[in-house]
Amino acid sequence: MTISEILRRYPETLPVFERHHLDCYDCQLADFEQLEHGATVHKIDVESLLCELNCNIKK
């Protein structure tokens, strides 16, 4: 899923992206960049990020 898709479907995840300094949501690449790629580029553990995003969605 792209970063834009995640934010459109689950806007409550924005604080998670901000906490990890993933400001990709504010750039043009968000429409094309898969979450895994963005996390890898920013040296963020993908599994931890997914877990945090999923927990935030369930709230």
pLDDT per residue over 21-48, tens digit each?
887 667 777 788 899 998 998 899 999 9
DSSP letter at 43?
Answer: T
How far apart CA 59 and CA 52 sit, in angstroms, is 11
Task: Kindly report the pTM of this predicted structure.
Answer: 0.83
∠ CA(47), CA(49), CA(50), 5° rounding? 65
- With 90 as the cut, is the pLDDT of residue 16 above it? yes
> 49 lies in which domain range?
3-58
User: What domain count does the chain have?
Assistant: 1
Length of the chain in terms of residues written: 59
